[in-house]
Amino acid sequence: MTKVREIAKIIEDYAPVGLQEDYDNAGLQVGNLDMDVSAVLLCLDVTEDILQEAIDRRCNLIVSHHPLIFRGLKSVTGRDAVQRIVIKAIQNNVAIYAAHTNLDSAHEGVSREIGHILNLTNMSVLDPKPGDDSVGIGIIGDMAPTPKIEFLRRLKDKFNVKALRYSAHSPRLVIKRPAVCGGAGAFLIKRAIEMGADAIVTGDVKYHDFTSFGEEILIADIGHYESELCTRKIFSRIIRDAFPEMVIYFSETESSPIATLY
């Protein structure tokens, strides 16, 4: 039977842990590397509901994009959700593994997956790691010239965005070279402009990002959650390619932690 360490290895071969940012905590969060894996549940964030779903569906490995344990735990007493999840996961022999900014920076990582969804061509890394232009944060690529409003509607549809925020004062009428960054990528707006992008697609854009750069580039905020749900597809491909018989589920209880009132 496939072990946790074997699944961890194929994920880390794809997205080496050395690519993660200094603040991050990718890797095995809970459990034993020598555990046999019966089934895998894939998600963006590990919540108490998702852990219960894993237990109910007899999945003893959860693979998430965002680490459950992001900041150090000084005690495990059950006084918050993270501690309760750790306790319950251990009690039920459920391992929890995360690949976060290392998956963001991988060659075929989160941003490039967004690029594939948008059918971009000639993609290159927006902010490459020193010494290796093939890995890093964000991508920029080409697409058939598309009217701005059609481009925005396409984003709303492709990523199931309930309320798309974009720079109202952008003079761009046609989009043909967008940059994209999964998660919170507003720090790359200036870099995207320098690289000749006419649009940038990301999440968590602040008001002053719109006021500072909105007249130079079309900024489209599709949401942090919406931009990174594609990580489940990446994980599924990685695991299924190596272990075709492995039972893999996408979480059915996962939902955005942000609600929209229309």
pLDDT along the chain (262 residues), means of 10: 97 98 97 97 98 98 97 90 98 98 98 98 98 97 98 98 96 96 98 98 98 97 98 98 98 95 84
Cα–Cα distance for residue pair 181/113, rounded to 1 Å:
10
Q: Global pTM?
A: 0.95
Cα–Cα distance for residue pair 192/120, rounded to 1 Å:
15
Q: 128: exposed, middle or buried (C-beta count within 10 Å: 0-12, 13-18, 19+)?
A: middle
pLDDT of residue 27: 98
pLDDT of residue 94: 98
Cα–Cα distance for residue pair 125/139, rounded to 1 Å:
4
Residue type, 16: P
pLDDT of residue 261: 85
- Identify the helix (H) or strand (E) that includes residue 135: strand 132-142
